[in-house]
Amino acid sequence: MESFDFPFFIEVLVGGLLSGIMYSLVAIGFVLIYKTSGVLNFAQGALLLFAALTFVSLLERGVPFWITFAVTLAIMAVIGILIERTVLRPLVNKPPITLFVATLGLAYVLEGGAQLLWGTQVHGLDLGIDDVPYVVGGVFISTFDLFAAAVAASIVLLLTIVFRYTRIGLAFRAVADDQFAALAIGLKLPVIWAAVWIAAGFVALVAGLLWGARLGVQFSLSLVVLKALPVLVLGGFDSILGAIVGGLLIGASEKLAEVYLGPFFGGGIESWFAYVFALAILLIRPSGLFGQRLVERT
Amino acid sequence: MTTASIPLPRPASAIGRVPTWPLPLAVIVFAYAGIPLFASDYLYDAILAPFLALSLAAVGLNILTGYAGQVSLGSAAFMAVGAYAAYNFNLRVEGLPLLASIVFAGLIASAVGVVFGLPSLRLKGFYLAVSTLAAQFFVQWTLTKFSWFSNYNPSGVIDAPALNVFGYVFEGPHGRYLFSLSVVVALTVFAARLVKTQTGRNFIAVRDNETAARISGVPVLHTKLLAFAISSFIIGVAGVLWAFAYLRTVEPHGFNLDRSFQILFIIIIGGLATIRGAFFGAALIVVLPLVLSRAGTFLFGSYFDSGVLDMSQRILVGALIIVFLIAEPDGLAALGNRIARRLRLKSPTN
Amino acid sequence: MKHYGAKALLKGAVLSAVAAGSFATAAIADEQFFPLQSYRVGPYAAGGTGFFGGTIDYFNLINTRDGGVNGVKLTWEEGETQYEVERGVEVYERLKGRPNIAAWNPLSVGIAYAMIDRITQDRVPLITVNHGRTDSTDGRVFPYVFPLLLNPYSETSGIINYIASKEGGEEKLKGKKIVVLYHGSPYGKETIPIYELLKEKFGYEVQQIEVPHPGNEQQAQWLAIRRYKPDYVVLRGWGVMNPVAIKTAQKTGFPVDRIIGNVWSNSEEDVIPAGDAAIGYTAITTQASGADYPVLQEIVKTVYDGGKGNLEDKKRIGSVYHNLGIVNGILNVEAVRIAQKRFGNRTLTGDEVRWGFEHLQLDPKRVEELGAKGLFHSINVTWDNHEGDGLVTFQQWDGKKWNVVSDWIAPDWKLLRPIIEKSAEAYAKEKGIKIRTSEDADKVTELQGAASSAKN
């Protein structure tokens, strides 16, 4: 092997960190739902597909960008409320695995609905950001990925502000901390759930647009959840901070592994490496890096 | 909901015990003697073959998830291990009877299951569930990556061998059905016996309350791994049936995440911790989409193309799953029990 | 929209709940039935709608314009597979009992594999145009399987020959660096040994890099490519992997006009999502795109203007998959026509249609008569060569449409044939198949639906 190529290492590392942010974006949607209702919402990928497909279809029909954004957001909000009403509320107090399977069913409905509504065509989505690389000291950095990172940072900031300084945010935290206590002091769970599903719809839209611009808007978009799951395991299902840090760690380690370890295995190890990496960390910390301490049932 | 472990629905078996060996026996007799009287090729090859393979996989997963309380999303990976292992034993060990290949394949799946079950010693709930996805992706990668597994076939897809048991070849739709049925009956009887033994009670103890189980002397770690081993064995054999008796070709893509979810659907909808639930659930999951698609083509085929029909069907299946979970969260087996009890109340002889 | 008779529909539906494989209906006179295992939903829906749309459009043209093939009407029924093998098998089991089946056309390697044993027993041809199992090219071992026009090995050789022509001759390949970026699946890996084999012959350097399925993340692979500094990257992609590859190439500063796509990376669906990053991207094809060819004009005039067009979006007429579907339609129809010359202008059995495919020889003159000059070059199938020496061409994306940028190029069949034969013979040995001779190939089962009703 040739001597260690340091700029190349940096390039892989930076590329990995930026990819990781994209995973985090998807993971945040999961965290919002899990924190308040204890559901691993597998339909997040389908929500993302639905949002992106709606957005791009409206845009292609000549609707201006910001109106499209607002309309899609409104549609996602309605869907969020509908999900809360028709799926979550009737299943309240059911075991999480039942809820999990229900979200799988929900994913079917959303994927089918999105394609029935807008067709199965593949769409390109141009957010107006040319992805010509920046060159910093011989290291290529993607403009688009930097933009995505900035968006992710704004979302985290926005969510933090909402949770910290608004009534609904406080209620949200109360529910996340202790559902029963929150109920006991008269918080309206359904309202909070609806709010959370709307927030998840918003995150799905943003993630859908960024991923859609990368992959094209098509069915495979719903598969990005598979990139988010190891991030969740690593960061903890119930921590937004964890989703960010987890994403960075997974992104960087996965890319470094593919480049430096991949050749020893014949390459293509990314598909499982993230899971194994997350698993290895978990064996040391069983609730992820930032997850709440595991409480054994007694 | 701060706890990370997943409390499971009430096991359907706990609700109203039906004293039953005559009924399963009647079903088995019917399956051997009754069905062949009217079954067509289509029924055998397109409905019963996948139904039997998936039922068996669901019996296997139910031991792990329903009885021992460990959620796994990697079932399809263990099916793949079983299918490929059986293929390779059959190919590489001269003179090894097919049945022995299948048993060895089950043991290999079992060993792989134990390895991927190791995290269960520390992880719980969704953390464990998601980490079983590691098995899903790792196994698929391994089987495509190393051509040895597919005997260096350039396309990586392999033909299943003939179903030859001690010189008798199970051929044709009916023959393959009998073969699958016999394997399924044998393993199901084994599973049904197992859950009644001390081992089965240990599984349930670990599921219901790990700490209490430990205090009362159940070897918790050993029990969990045993559940992974037995479950993976059965799922591995189900993979052999899927590949050898149903598709008659072995390719890694067919054992993807969707298949794992499908098996999970089956046990949740059929009823956790019941053996018959696996069969009810599989019947629903295999037959329902077909009926919907055929009915759709019949009713609307001249107005819409097959794509529209199929998407509507996807929506309907998803919606039905949700409706079903709301209406009968304990599964079809519980529903069956309820009906049986009501019938018994009506007939005073019982 | 659909053309199959209400009777057939009703029959299918009545049998729906339990269904039957063995109903012996009297054959409806002078019809030739094509069961279509289509996929209009799921990740590959765009390809499925184009391909099956094209084939159906051509069948409609033949029925409407000519009243069928010499008076024999073409009928078909679709079954949705979502590209999944077990659903393909279900559709096969559902439709195999229909009378008058001419040929199966699944456009899916997985489904085709699962059907090889079954259709061989049924004695009905299985057409895998442009894809499929490479060694099924050897008609001595696979009598009923036809990877028409182009198998994966020929594709590889065609791509290398194109690079050679771009560089100014085969000898210029020496020392050139090529990266093959392949999809992490059996399909993706299939050509690995062929690139290695051709490397021995031409003396280029090659690095083959895997992209894990589904391929929505390729940062690491393209950074490795950038470090290797290849002259060309061959994209052996699949679905979403293609646009992501093109975009990531741009992101890492690799010039797009040095990327060459294979036959599954050559459609509009592969480049449109990549936007402007795809301008200049080149890909191999067996059939040119565009709607200028007489046969397409007639389809527009006869089928679409008559409201019978299969594509929902008329803008897709003449797209890559639509044209592949049309070429596939032409090949199926001509096989039937050729078989009719020997057996008479009537409904043929599957085995008779197989004979037709084994004599499917369309020279450029005949292709012109069919209104397809320039759409595809020619085909020359024989009893032992089921691929039929299809020529390839290369097309470049200009942001709006594909433009042909090369002549018709011939792959190096002579070099590849021995490998194919070796593989086929190994298969024959493993399965205990007797290797066919040309006399065997000339024997034809004339019994209608002989195997499908047998219960063995």
pLDDT at C83 over 50: yes
Q: What's the pLDDT at A163?
A: 79
Q: Are residues C133 and C190 in the same domain?
A: no
Residue A203, min C-alpha distance to chain C (Å): 19
Q: What is the mean pLDDT of residues A268-293?
A: 80
pLDDT at B4 over 50: no
Mutate to test the interface with B, among A220, A233, A273, A281 (most CBs of B within 10 A): A233
Chains within contact range of chain C (3+ C-beta pairs < 8 Å): A, B
Residue A257 included in any domain:
yes
Q: Are residues C146 and C29 in the same domain?
A: yes
Q: What is the mean pLDDT of residues C114-141?
A: 93
CB contact under 8 A, B156 and C135: no
Please, what is the average pLDDT of chain B? 87
Q: What's the pLDDT at A193?
A: 83
d(CA B264, CA B272): 10
Residue A7, min C-alpha distance to chain B (Å): 30
Q: What's the pLDDT at B312?
A: 86
Percentage with pLDDT > 90 across chain C: 76
Q: A-B interface: how many C-beta pairs under 8 angstroms?
A: 163
User: C391-428: per-residue pLDDT in tens?
Assistant: 999 999 999 999 999 999 999 999 999 999 999 998 89
CA C179, C153, A122: angle at the middle one, nearest 5?
65
Q: What is the mean pLDDT of residues C328-354?
A: 96
Containing H/E element for C303?
none
pLDDT class of A17 with cuts at 50, 70, 90:
very high
CB contact under 8 A, B297 and C13: yes
CB contact under 8 A, C219 and A255: yes
Mutate to test the interface with B, among C113, C121, C126, C134 (most CBs of B within 10 A): C113
pLDDT class of C17 with cuts at 50, 70, 90:
very low
Burial status of residue A169 (CB atoms within 10 A of its CB: 0-12, 13-18, 19 or more): middle
Percentage with pLDDT > 70 across chain B: 92
Q: What's the pLDDT at C5?
A: 41
User: C287-332: per-residue pLDDT in tens?
Assistant: 999 999 999 999 999 999 999 999 988 999 999 999 999 999 999 9
pLDDT at C34 over 60: yes
Q: What's the pLDDT at A3?
A: 66
What residues of chain B, 191 to 210, have a C-beta less than 8 Å from chain A? 209-210
pLDDT at A121 over 90: no
pLDDT at C432 over 80: yes
Q: Are residues C100 and C157 in the same domain?
A: no
Domain boundaries, chain B: 18-256
User: B212-236: per-residue pLDDT in tens?
Assistant: 999 999 999 999 999 999 999 999 9
DSSP-derived secondary structure for A150-163: HHHHHHHHHHHHHH
Collapsing DSSP to helix, strand or coil, C127 comes out as: strand
Q: What's the pLDDT at A177?
A: 75
Residue A269 included in any domain:
yes
pLDDT class of A2 with cuts at 50, 70, 90:
low
pLDDT class of C32 with cuts at 50, 70, 90:
very high
| Residue C127 backbone dihedrals phi, psi, to 5 degrees | -100, 125
CB contact under 8 A, A275 and B131: yes
pLDDT class of B348 with cuts at 50, 70, 90:
low
Q: What is the mean pLDDT of residues B327-332?
A: 86
Ramachandran assignment for C108, one of left (phi > 0), alpha (psi -120 to 50 degrees), beta (any other): beta
Residue C199 included in any domain:
yes
Residues whose CB is less than 8 angstroms from the CB of residue B134 and which lie 6 or more positions away in sequence, other chains included: A272, A275, A276, A279, B74, B116
Residue pair A104/B261 in contact (Cβ under 8 Å)? The answer is yes
Please, what is the average pLDDT of chain C? 89
Residue A27 included in any domain:
yes
d(CA C134, CA C150): 9
d(CA C122, CA C99): 12
CB contact under 8 A, C46 and A122: yes
**More confident of the two residues C70 and A134:** C70
Question: Which among B45, B309, B311 has the least Cβ separation from residue C93?
Answer: B45
pLDDT at C7 over 50: no
Q: What is the mean pLDDT of residues A9-34?
A: 92
What is the pairing mode between strands C259-261 and C232-236? Answer: parallel
Chains within contact range of chain A (3+ C-beta pairs < 8 Å): B, C
pLDDT at C25 over 60: no
How many domains does chain A divide into? 1
Contacts of A269 in chain B (CB under 8 A): 141
d(CA A108, CA C126): 32
CB contact under 8 A, C110 and B251: yes
Q: What's the pLDDT at C57?
A: 97
Q: What is the mean pLDDT of residues B125-146?
A: 88
User: B115-132: per-residue pLDDT in tens?
Assistant: 999 988 888 888 888 888
pLDDT at C55 over 90: yes
Q: What's the pLDDT at C408?
A: 96
Contacts of C239 in chain A (CB under 8 A): 220
pLDDT at C11 over 50: no
Q: What's the pLDDT at B15?
A: 46
pLDDT at C19 over 50: no
Question: Which among B155, B174, B294 has the least Cβ separation from residue C186?
Answer: B155
Question: Which residue of B lies nearest to C92 if distances are taken between CA atoms?
Answer: B46
Q: What is the mean pLDDT of residues A172-185?
A: 76
Question: Which among A142, A216, A259 has the least Cβ separation from residue C220?
Answer: A259
Residue C218, min C-alpha distance to chain A (Å): 9
Query: Would you state the structure tokens that stand for residue C398, as one six-digit string?
Result: 């200009």
Contacts of B318 in chain A (CB under 8 A): 104-110, 112
Q: Which domain holds residue C228?
A: 152-285+394-410
**More confident of the two residues A13 and A238:** A13
Q: What is the mean pLDDT of residues A190-198?
A: 84
Cβ neighbours around A152 below 10 Å, total: 25
Percentage with pLDDT > 70 across chain C: 91
Distances (CA, A) of B95 to B161, B232, B250: 13, 26, 21
C374 contacts chain A (CB < 8 A): no
Q: What's the pLDDT at A201?
A: 92
Q: Are residues C100 and C169 in the same domain?
A: no
Most confident of A130-139, A257-266, C91-100: C91-100
Question: Which among C45, C247, C253 has the least Cβ separation from residue A120?
Answer: C45
Q: What is the CA radius of gyration of chain A?
A: 20
Question: What CATH number corresponds to the domain at position A153?
Answer: 1.10.3470
CB contact under 8 A, B322 and A276: no
| H-helix segments, C145-204 | 152-167, 186-189, 192-202
Q: Are residues C257 and C403 in the same domain?
A: yes
pLDDT class of C177 with cuts at 50, 70, 90:
very high
Question: Which among B3, B124, B312 has the least Cβ separation from residue A116?
Answer: B312
Q: Tokens 């549609």 identify what position?
A: A75
Question: What CATH number corresponds to the domain at position C238?
Answer: 3.40.50.2300
pLDDT at B156 over 90: no
Residue B303, min C-alpha distance to chain C (Å): 7
CB contact under 8 A, C85 and B43: no
Cβ neighbours around C340 below 10 Å, total: 21
Q: What's the pLDDT at B11?
A: 53
Instruction: Kindly report the three-state secondary structure assignment for every residue of chain B.
Output: CCCCCCCCCCCHHHCCCCCCCHHHHHHHHHHHHHHHHHCCHHHHHHHHHHHHHHHHHHHHHHHHHHHCCCCCCCHHHHHHHHHHHHHHHHHHCCCCCHHHHHHHHHHHHHHHHHHHHHHHHCCCHHHHHHHHHHHHHHHHHHHHHCHHHHCCCCCCCEECCCEEECCEEECHHHHHHHHHHHHHHHHHHHHHHHCCCHHHHHHHHHHHCHHHHHHCCCCHHHHHHHHHHHHHHHHHHHHHHHHHHHHCEECHHHHCHHHHHHHHHHHHHHCCCCHHHHHHHHHHHHHHHHHHHHHHHHHHCCCCCHHHHHHHHHHHHHHHHHHHHHHCCCCHHHHHHHHHHHHHHHCCCC
Q: What's the pLDDT at C2?
A: 40
Residue A135, min C-alpha distance to chain B (Å): 35
Instruction: Kindly report the three-state secondary structure assignment for every residue of B48-74.
Output: HHHHHHHHHHHHHHHHHHHHCCCCCCC
pLDDT class of B9 with cuts at 50, 70, 90:
low
What residues of chain A, 194 to 223, have a C-beta less than 8 Å from chain C? 211, 214-220, 223
Question: Which among B155, B159, B305 has the least Cβ separation from residue C40?
Answer: B305
Q: Are residues C119 and C172 in the same domain?
A: no
User: B170-207: per-residue pLDDT in tens?
Assistant: 988 999 999 999 999 999 999 999 999 999 999 999 99
Residues whose CB is less than 8 angstroms from the CB of residue C453 and which lie 6 or more positions away in sequence, other chains included: C21, C22, C24, C97
User: A159-171: per-residue pLDDT in tens?
Assistant: 888 878 888 778 8
d(CA B208, CA B202): 10
Q: What is the mean pLDDT of residues C108-137?
A: 92
Chains within contact range of chain B (3+ C-beta pairs < 8 Å): A, C
pLDDT class of B299 with cuts at 50, 70, 90:
confident
Query: Would you state the structure tokens that stand for residue B46, as one six-digit string?
Result: 């397109």
Contacts of C17 in chain B (CB under 8 A): 291, 294
CB contact under 8 A, B38 and C456: no
Nearest to C284 by CA among C109, C190, C165, C135: C165
C211 contacts chain A (CB < 8 A): yes
Contacts of B161 in chain C (CB under 8 A): none
d(CA C96, CA B41): 10
Q: Which domain holds residue A154?
A: 6-284
Q: What's the pLDDT at B346?
A: 67
Q: What is the mean pLDDT of residues B256-280?
A: 92
Residue C423 included in any domain:
no
The conformation of residue C138, written as its DSSP 8-state character, comes to: B
**More confident of the two residues A265 and C377:** C377
Collapsing DSSP to helix, strand or coil, C27 comes out as: coil
User: A49-79: per-residue pLDDT in tens?
Assistant: 999 999 999 999 999 999 999 999 999 999 9
Q: Are residues C146 and C161 in the same domain?
A: no
Query: Would you state the structure tokens that stand for residue B334, as one six-digit string?
Result: 């519980």
How many domains does chain C divide into? 2
User: C145-167: per-residue pLDDT in tens?
Assistant: 999 999 999 999 999 999 999 99
